[in-house]
Each structure stands twice: as C-alpha cells, then as structure tokens.
Structure 1
Amino acid sequence: MFRKFILFIPALMLLGACAEIKLATHTVKKITNTVTKTSKGTYKIGKPYQIKGIWYYPAVNYGYVEKGVASWYGPQFHGKKTANGEIFDMNTVSAAHRTLPMPSIVRVTNLENGRAMNIRVNDRGPFAKNRIIDLSRRAAQLLGFKRAGTALVKVEIIADESRRIAMLAQKDKTFFAKAKREDVSVVKLGSKQKVTTRIHKKPRPQSRITTKFLDHKNDTNVVTLVPIPKTKRIFVQAGAFVYRDLAEKMQKLLDPLGPTRVVEAIIGKRRYFRVQVGPAPNVKQGDELLNQVIASGYPTAKLIVE
C-alpha cells in the first residue's frame, strides 16, 4: 500500500504540471494579439477617389495643419492590409489619413489633456465626415482617449521627417515598414527627467509594465505633455468662398439651424471666407449639428475645432 502511494505522488505531480502548462498556454493565447507577419509596404500618394459621394484628393502637403476630431480603429482591421500594403497592427502606433502621402509623420496633440506624439500615417481614412484622423488602438491609448472613442485634436505634418522617409521609401521602392516597438515616454515640459514606459517586443494587453527614468534622444513614440488652450470650441463649417457676398448668402440660409458666422482666413496667398455654424458644446452635439447641416444640402460640411 505504501509503495502504491509513493507511485501515486509523481503521477499527481505530473497531472498538476500538465494542467499548469495547459493553463499557461491558454492564458498566452488569450492575451497575445499581435501581428507577427512582416509588413511589406510601398510609398504611395494615390489618385483621387470617391467615398459615399465625397471626392478626396491625395497630395503632398508639407504645410498641413488641421484641428478637428480624432477617432480610433482596431479589432475589425487587425491583421489586414493597409492602403499602402502594410499589415495593420492595432497594438502598434500608426494612423490613417484621407489625403497625406503614405508614409508620413504627423504630430497629433490631444487638445483635451495635452498629450502629444509623432505618429506614422500608413493607411487611408477615416471616412466619417466629422473625423480628420483615425489612430490605431495603441495610439489612442497613449493619447488618452481610447475609452472615450474620440478626442479634439490638432494634427500637423512633420515636414522634415516626412520628406526623409518619403525619399527612403521611393529610393527602395519597396520597404519593410514593420513598426518598431520602442520605449514609450511620457515627458512633462520643463522637467529634466523623462518617465518611460517600457513595452515588451511583443506587446500584450495584460503584460507587465515597468517604469524607469531614461534619457531619450529619439522622439519616436514619445508622449509629451504640452500646454493646451483652456477654451476649445466646435463649429460646423458648411463652406468656404473667395467672395464674401457668397459666404453671407450661405450664412442667411443656415440661420435657422442656430448661430452662424463668416470667418476670414488666409491660406497661402488667397483669402477665403468660411461659413460656420455653432459653437457646439461637445463632440456628440457637434455630430448632431453636422448631420443637420448636411441634411440641409451641404454634403461637404465638416467639424472644425478652434
């Protein structure tokens, strides 16, 4: 009897070990959701295209700056090809833009919390009329609006860096564009120390994160805290005209929808008169106001932030 009991103990330990291995394997399967395929892409500007009746005109624009609403995308497109042939990985930092060359580097600032970072554009979108840029899930997490779903942002192209990667991409014609999983830093302006969140080479949603002080020379994937305006207003821009009288005619037509205004703007050497409705107190009500303007016969209307 004693001998049988001794034989039973190793068997029990083996069963326990097997169960532990199965549990560990199951856990790894559940928490690992990262694309491991090599992402091969090409430099691309693209031809004009039409989505839901709206025409978009991709072009090189190293002076691009815009304020508006950002959104994010993830599981539905995870592992699929982007517009320039790369493989989209929602766990890495990237962005989709309707017209900028791919790849380009843009500076995205969350106007609600002051977080800003440089992000690489490698896809087309978003095609909702009230969004100006679509970020990967990881980028939305780092900029602090993943839960909210949207954020008021400023998007500005980083001209020198965009020119550099465009030159390299066109020289090689085809380039390996798998996003580097580098350290992600949170930096407070005026501080001598940088708090860095180190991410594993294969990011896992439930992975262990350690924090330490490092000196970053490269600003790729660095989240910086920057000053932001205390007041931000959301308007619906229905149109823009070269002549003020045409803008004022549209303004009168839009008066029934709420407060309207004509704003003068100089772009390059040209003067424009923009017709705007608002302000709306938040993104949700801005969306509703935009839908009303579109339904009134202005399909190219869009949300803007100032």
Structure 2
Amino acid sequence: MRYILLLILLLTAACSSGSREVGPRGRMPHDGELPVGDQGVARKVGNPYKVAGVWYHPKEDPYYDEVGYASWYGPDFHGKRTANGEQYNMNSLTAAHKTLPLPTFVKVTNLENGRSIVLRVNDRGPFVKSRIIDVSRRGAQLLGFDKQGVTKVRVQALDENGKIVKPKGNNQTYAGGTSAGNHYIQVGAYSQRENAEIQLKRLRRSGHDAQLDKTDSNGKSLWRVRLGPFKEKLLAEQKLDRVVADGFYEARIFSDSVR
C-alpha cells in the first residue's frame, strides 16, 4: 500500500510539473524594458508566403507605425513552434505579426487605456481582417485586454536597443538654424463652432491644453481643434502618443514652415 501511495504522489508531481506555467508574472515591465529569451534563433526576414489566398511579403520596416486591432493567443498554441522555430510560451512577452522580421521588438500601446509594453515578434499572424498583431496571453494581461479579447492598439517598431527609429532628415529643417517650423496636433476640423467646442472640452477634461483656431478655405470657415505649436517635431510626436492613448484616434501632426 505504501508503494502505491508513493507512486501516486510521484505521478501527481510529474503532471503538475508538466503543466506548470512559466514566464514573467506579477509586475508591469519598466519603461523600455526589453523581453528576453530568443532561444538562440537567428534573426530573419523570411520569404513571401500565402495564407487563405492572400500573399504576404515580409520585409525590413524600421519605421513601422500603425494603428489597428490586437488580439491574443494562448493555451491552444502553448508549447508549439512559432514561425521562427522558437517554442511558444503564452506567459512570455512575445507577439505575432504578418510581415515584420523575426524577431523584431515592438512597442504596443493599448489605445483604450494608455498602457504600453515592449514585445518581441517571433511568429506570424493574425490572419483576420483589421487585426495587425497577435500578442501572447501575458502581453494581453499586461495591456489590460485579456478579458475582452480584442482592443485597438498602436504598434511601433523598435531597434535592438528598444528605441523608436526616426527617419533620417526628420528634423533637417532645423539644421544650421536657417529655418524653423511650427508643429501642431490637430484633433479635428469642424464647420460648426459648437462641435469644435465639444471636442475642445473633451480634450481639456483629459488634461490636454487645446485651443480653437479659425481658418477660411474656399470661402468656408473651419474651426480647428489644436494643441501646440511645438518647435520640435519630436515633442509633437511625444505629445501625440498621449493624445491618441487618451482616445483621440483621429489626431494628426500638421507642420507649418517658417521662413
């Protein structure tokens, strides 16, 4: 009888060990913290491939910056191979993307609540219309959408140091101090002042110092809701991140040259 009990205990321990979930738990990663665990797999761009009749063409895209919908995948894929040959761990900070090189670091911002984390793309997908990224279950938990399943996000490619890469010449108008520019974040343009004021109040309630600006175009007046001006475009871009994260998804940067 004692031997039977010992055997049961050993089998129970083995089953518990086999199903134990591992990976980062409990805390939100620090700003800019890079996920680790590349399993020794070399970086690759990958060849064109076809899914459900649609061709996808992986490519280097260091300036990738897109808004769309994110979903997450978990138990059904846990332990299976990813597109670059790694073993998928739903508790690691990884993601799937259709065309970015494997792996690529990306900053994912949940536009519903403003949370941002860095994930490492090591798989392909999602192949559902309007969805631009699939994140691990742990990624969805930290971004705060694991219960709802889908959320609107902004995805930005990062370099190997976890930094957003700016296109060369992005601030070239300031070189040598020969010219300058004013950069604005425009949240909307309205033919009726009342509608513009409604948007203005929403922005100010969210803590953004916005103003109304009237302009005439083709004999018609427009009321623009704007933040700024910002003398450097980088500052405008940083502010845009917060404005979009607060739910103003149509916000854009407009630049006026000063000569």
Q: Give the TM interval when normalised to the shorter protein.
A: 0.5 to 0.7
Matches within 5 A, 1:1-306: 25=13, 28-29=16-17, 32-34=20-22, 39-161=39-161, 228-232=245-249
Cα distance change of structure 1 residues 30 and 159 upon mapping to structure 2, 3 Å threshold: closer
Cα distance change of structure 1 residues 45 and 18 upon mapping to structure 2, 3 Å threshold: same
CA offset digits 1:80-101 (Å, max 9, x no partner): 1111111111111101111111
Shift of 1:108: 0.2
What SS class does the counterpart of residue 85 from structure 1 fall into?
coil
Compute the RMSD of aligned alpha carbons. Answer: 3.5
- Asked if the contact 1:95–1:121 (Cα under 8 Å) also holds between the matched residues in 2, the reply is yes
What is the alpha-carbon distance in structure 2 between the residues aligned to residue 229 and residue 34 of structure 1?
33
TM-score by length of 1: 0.45
- Asked if the contact 1:49–1:55 (Cα under 8 Å) also holds between the matched residues in 2, the reply is yes
CA offset digits 1:239-292 (Å, max 9, x no partner): xxxxxxxxxxxxxxxxxxxxxxxxxx99xxxxxxxxxxxxxxxxxxxxxxxxxx
Amino acid at match of 1:229: D
- Asked if the contact 1:109–1:154 (Cα under 8 Å) also holds between the matched residues in 2, the reply is yes
Cα distance change of structure 1 residues 146 and 51 upon mapping to structure 2, 3 Å threshold: same
What is the alpha-carbon distance in structure 1 between the residues aligned to residue 80 and residue 128 of structure 2?
20
- Asked if the contact 2:105–2:160 (Cα under 8 Å) also holds between the matched residues in 1, the reply is no
What is the alpha-carbon distance in structure 1 between the residues aligned to residue 146 and residue 45 of structure 2?
29
CA offset digits 1:104-141 (Å, max 9, x no partner): 11000000111101111111111112210010111111
Amino acid at match of 2:103: P
What is the alpha-carbon distance in structure 2 between the residues aligned to residue 108 and residue 38 of structure 1?
19
Unaligned runs of 5+ residues in structure 1 are 1-10, 164-224, 234-264, 267-306
- Asked if the contact 1:94–1:139 (Cα under 8 Å) also holds between the matched residues in 2, the reply is yes
CA offset digits 1:152-207 (Å, max 9, x no partner): 000001135379xxxxxxxxxxxxxxxxxxxxxxxxxxxxxxxxxxxxxxxxxxxx
**Which ranges of 4 or more aligned residues in structure 1 deviate by more than 4 Å?**
17-24
What is the alpha-carbon distance in structure 2 between the residues aligned to residue 59 and residue 46 of structure 1?
8
What is the alpha-carbon distance in structure 2 between the residues aligned to residue 131 and residue 87 of structure 1?
23
What SS class does the counterpart of residue 142 from structure 2 fall into?
helix
Cα distance change of structure 1 residues 26 and 41 upon mapping to structure 2, 3 Å threshold: closer
Shift of 1:23: 10
What is the alpha-carbon distance in structure 2 between the residues aligned to residue 96 and residue 78 of structure 1?
14
- Asked if the contact 1:64–1:157 (Cα under 8 Å) also holds between the matched residues in 2, the reply is yes
What is the alpha-carbon distance in structure 2 between the residues aligned to residue 99 and residue 162 of structure 1?
19
What is the alpha-carbon distance in structure 2 between the residues aligned to residue 66 and residue 141 of structure 1?
21
Identity %: 44
What is the alpha-carbon distance in structure 2 between the residues aligned to residue 103 and residue 19 of structure 1?
43
- Asked if the contact 1:66–1:154 (Cα under 8 Å) also holds between the matched residues in 2, the reply is yes
Q: Which one is further off, 139-148 or 41-50?
A: 41-50
What is the alpha-carbon distance in structure 2 between the residues aligned to residue 43 and residue 162 of structure 1?
16
Cα distance change of structure 1 residues 162 and 117 upon mapping to structure 2, 3 Å threshold: closer
Unaligned runs of 5+ residues in structure 2 are 24-36, 164-240, 255-259
